[in-house]
Structure 1
Amino acid sequence: MKARLLRKIHFDKNSINYKLWAYFVLFAALLLSLLWLLQIFFLNTYYQEMKITETNRIATVIAEKYGTEDFVDTIRSLSISNDMYIQIETDDAILFSPGNESGRMPIYMYLPEMSTVRKLLFQDNQQSASVIIPEKGPGNGDRKTLAYASFLERTADSKVILYIFSPLFPVDSTVGILRNQLIYVTIISLSIAFSLSIYLSNRISKPIRSITKSAERLAAGEYGVPFEGGHYTEIIQLSETLNMTSAELKKTDELRKDLIANVSHDLRTPLTMVKSYAEMIRDLSGDNPEKRRAHLEVIIEEADRLNLLVSDLLDLSQLQTNVTPLEKSDFDLAEAAQSIINSLGVYESRDGYKFNLEVPAEPAMVNADENKIKRVLANLLNNGVKYCGADKEVDIRITSQGNTVRCEVSDHGMGISPEEINQIWERYYKTSTHHVRATRGTGLGLSIVKEIMQLHGGRYGVESKEGEGSTFYVELDRER
């Protein structure tokens, strides 16, 4: 029980959950520390700097008003509203001093400070001078006075001096109040920050943990496992990408299983035939030349079929992995189609098939890998022969459309159903349409067409109507 509890409260310091929590709490602690520094430790310094700035501002206002009609009223108003003692004097007279009705302290209360700041003003030979002077006497404690003096007028014959005295009250009581308040603020703020950090870290890391578990299932071979996103765009995009990956892996796994099943079947059938006819030659037809020749023809035909299957598998693998680069050149697509038709002449002479080729008046020049495009045309023509109608006719039509050359191969067979038309480009997929000609293809022809056209960046597709036939087409860019 104790070990289980320890495992439950264990923190992984490298986890997103822990780091989000730690960073959030650390940020809150730094913010509160800054608040403590500003409000407690620097409050006295800040207070003095503020009073000095305010005194300089008031002195500037008085200097600007000097000599105007409302000069005295302005000084009196500033003195009362800012709790300052303001006096203006010359060498032999006082031009302005607050009266008793203003509630200001009497003049003799600031005589020591006045003497000190006056001495600084004349000693440094400056336009203004200021000094903070501690107040002496019983009951004053740490009270201080800001003494300021400046020349409103300064000539050889006359000097007009402005004095401003502002008491600096101790801030210890204020600091004590703020300290008590900040203790409560700190406790409440850290509690809220702690709670929010746990909530947010769990909310952010929960979908990531879910994705991790699904990824572990995917790694264990459970293809097609769903990935659930969270409430954040990045995690939603990640889950969508992983869902597509999972679906593709499931599809690839199914194709792999189908491939193994089909290849096993396609290899077993001719191997069985080879073995059977070899045994027949050994046991039955060894002394009969005609039977021996017929049996050997079957063995050779089955060996050719095995060779074609292995060759197609190798070609498809090389196309999918881009092992063999494209060797592009400019050539006439119509001439390439005619050469493929010539190579299939045995179908015309022996089986009665007819190939109808329609080409434009001008050469249909394209820029592509000629050998691979001939492979495309050969596969489409063989597919047309396999699925053509009772008329045994296959139409080949080449047209030029702007910067594109299009080749169409049409048959008049049973067509392809809408449910199957998007699947015919997959390896080993066979439609439900019956063949007119009993052929022993590898089932990889259209997959090879797709891979070659994708390598060229060309377009390919099929248009079909059930009961009327199908038209396969490829499109290539014209010569450069």
Structure 2
Amino acid sequence: MSRSIFGRLFLSHVAVILLTTLVLGLFMSYLVRNHAVRTKQSDLLVKGRVVSQLLAPDLRQGRVPSAEQLQELEQLAGATLWLIDREGRVIAGTPPNRWAKAFPEAADELSALFAGEAQTWVRTSRRQTDRSIVVGIAVPGANPQTAVLLYASITGVNKAAQAVEKLLLYSLGIGILAALAFALVMARGLTRPVADISLAAARFAGGDYTSRTGATGDDELGRLGRTFNAMAEALAHAEENRRKFLADVTHELKTPVASIQAMAEALQDGLVKDTDQQHRYLGTIVGEAKRIDRLLRDLLALAELEAGALSIVKEPLDLGYFWHEQADRLAPLLSSKNLTLNLRLPNQPAVVLADPDRLAQVALNLITNAVRYAPAGSNIDVTITLSPPNASFTVRDYGPGIPAADLPHIWERFYRVDKARTRAAGGTGLGLAITRELVRYMGGETIAESTPGQGAAFTVTLPLAGHIRRS
């Protein structure tokens, strides 16, 4: 029990409660006993003054009271009573043993007593054999000088104190039980969320990716629980993406590998006799091999981007000059579908800070995507816009467009709007994902817009070189 958080919390609460109760009990016991002693002391002083007044008439005339008179006064005062002279000798009454032979206290106190100052001697220590209260009061006008002393044992005083202490003890006992119950509830309340989070984490570690904790209160443990749920959600999403990624890669590789295997086996077994057909089979094998190579290179590039291992070398780049170069480079791709690339340039140069090679890869991916969906003989527009502190270019085709439900997902790996058409066109499904990451690495952003039936537009925004240098 002491090794668990609950056990340590509960035992610490119990220790604090018991220590507090012990200190409080001792302090209250001291207060009660001290009050009882002070009350008895005051009571004896009052009664001593009354007794001295009653004895004064006889003592002024030199008459010592009889034993019977002293016994009556003792009953009246509730204390042992005796008389002493100025030397401290007993002249009447029967004092306790300690006071019987000689005055046991200091001589200056005896002198002060006969000077008219009432004296009190309190002996309450357990180490003292005669635990008692004694008060002494001089009898006014006595001849010779006489003082009356009253004695009360502290044992009698303790009875009232013990009764109060017993009541206090019962109250403290009930308080301890209530406090222990409260400590149990508090410890349970603190450890229950921890146990719930621990159980949820154990289930999650065991493969239950839907496991979440219900400990989501407003305190620190609640914040921990919400953080765990957010982490579990992210990990579950990452695991789902990992499985989907593996399934997609397997699916993408399965078709070309199967095609290569089937045609290679047919050629190996001599099933294909016609020379033209053999050349077609070999051309298909080479094409599928290239497709696998493109897929692997795209996967490697995406992995480097996501790992932050891709080298980006930024330099000032004029977007107008850049796109004139790309138009020449991409002419064979455009001519395959008799497409026309229209460049719309701003009135002044748009010089951005970018990596020319990586931006060329972005341009290739976007133009390839536009060519894939643009109708044969149509246009592809590239519009450069200058909007300090940024500049942007937009690649627009006039194909079927992208449905609104698919638009948020087009940046995901292997996501296809038209799966059959994309596969037939030879795409890997990674181009747009790579494009977005490359632009992000260059400090820009990519936005896709589309109206179904009216084509799609992809806008890349990059910071102007001059603004970057000034900042």
TM-score of the aligned structures, taking structure 2 as reference length? 0.69
| 1:18 and 2:7 correspond | yes
Matches within 5 A, 1:193-208: 193-208=179-194
Larger deviation, residues 303-312 vs 353-362: 353-362
Separation (CA, whole Å) in 1 of partners of 2:13 and 2:171: 17
Structure 2 vs 1, CA of residues 261 and 206 (structure 1 numbering), >3 Å: closer, same or farther?
A: same
| 1:134 and 2:121 correspond | yes
Identical-pair percentage: 27
Q: Which amino acid is 1:179 matched to?
A: E
| 1:27 and 2:16 correspond | yes
Report the equivalent of 1:326: 312
Structure 2 vs 1, CA of residues 180 and 471 (structure 1 numbering), >3 Å: closer, same or farther?
A: same
Structure 2 vs 1, CA of residues 37 and 338 (structure 1 numbering), >3 Å: closer, same or farther?
A: farther
1:410-446: CA deviations, max 9, x gaps?
A: 2222222222221111111111488599511110111
Structure 2 vs 1, CA of residues 412 and 237 (structure 1 numbering), >3 Å: closer, same or farther?
A: farther
Instruction: Give the CA deviation at 1:115.
Output: 9.1
| 1:214 and 2:200 correspond | yes
1:82-115: CA deviations, max 9, x gaps?
A: x9xxxxxxxxxxxxxxxxxxxxxxxxx9x99999
Separation (CA, whole Å) in 2 of partners of 1:473 and 1:432: 21
SS of structure 2 residue aligned to 1:134: strand
Instruction: Give the CA deviation at 1:133.
Output: 6.3
Q: Which amino acid is 1:134 matched to?
A: W
Separation (CA, whole Å) in 2 of partners of 1:36 and 1:230: 41
Report the equivalent of 2:397: 411
Report the equivalent of 2:462: 476
Q: Which amino acid is 2:408 matched to?
A: N
Contact 1:387/1:437 (<8 A) preserved: no
Report the equivalent of 1:239: 225
Structure 2 vs 1, CA of residues 117 and 242 (structure 1 numbering), >3 Å: closer, same or farther?
A: same
Contact 2:397/2:456 (<8 A) preserved: yes
Report the equivalent of 1:460: 446
Instruction: Give the CA deviation at 1:295.
Output: 3.3
1:271-315: CA deviations, max 9, x gaps?
A: 223233334544266783x55444333222211111100011111
Separation (CA, whole Å) in 2 of partners of 1:204 and 1:230: 13
Q: Which amino acid is 2:231 matched to?
A: T
Contact 1:415/1:465 (<8 A) preserved: yes
Structure 2 vs 1, CA of residues 291 and 433 (structure 1 numbering), >3 Å: closer, same or farther?
A: closer
Instruction: Report the aligned-residue RMSD.
Output: 4.2
Matches within 5 A, 1:207-356: 207-282=193-268, 283=270, 288=275, 290-356=276-342
Instruction: Give the CA deviation at 1:118.
Output: 13
Aligned match for 1:36, one of 17, 25, 43: 25
SS of structure 1 residue aligned to 2:407: coil
Contact 2:216/2:223 (<8 A) preserved: no
Structure 2 vs 1, CA of residues 21 and 336 (structure 1 numbering), >3 Å: closer, same or farther?
A: farther
Separation (CA, whole Å) in 2 of partners of 1:347 and 1:449: 19
Separation (CA, whole Å) in 2 of partners of 1:261 and 1:135: 95
Q: Which amino acid is 2:432 matched to?
A: L
1:169-200: CA deviations, max 9, x gaps?
A: 98856753553233123211221121112222
Instruction: Give the CA deviation at 1:316.
Output: 0.9
Report the equivalent of 1:190: 176
Separation (CA, whole Å) in 2 of partners of 1:271 and 1:435: 19
Contact 2:314/2:442 (<8 A) preserved: no
Separation (CA, whole Å) in 2 of partners of 1:342 and 1:175: 110
Report the equivalent of 2:148: none
SS of structure 2 residue aligned to 1:367: strand
Instruction: Give the CA deviation at 1:119.
Output: 10
Instruction: Give the CA deviation at 1:135.
Output: 6.2
Structure 2 vs 1, CA of residues 446 and 235 (structure 1 numbering), >3 Å: closer, same or farther?
A: farther
| 1:379 and 2:368 correspond | no
Count the aligned residue pairs.
384
Report the equivalent of 2:350: 364
Q: Which amino acid is 2:309 matched to?
A: V
Instruction: Give the CA deviation at 1:386.
Output: 1.8
Report the equivalent of 1:166: none
Structure 2 vs 1, CA of residues 376 and 47 (structure 1 numbering), >3 Å: closer, same or farther?
A: farther
Separation (CA, whole Å) in 2 of partners of 1:254 and 1:397: 38
Q: Which amino acid is 1:405 matched to?
A: A
SS of structure 1 residue aligned to 2:166: helix
Structure 2 vs 1, CA of residues 372 and 32 (structure 1 numbering), >3 Å: closer, same or farther?
A: farther
Structure 2 vs 1, CA of residues 180 and 315 (structure 1 numbering), >3 Å: closer, same or farther?
A: same
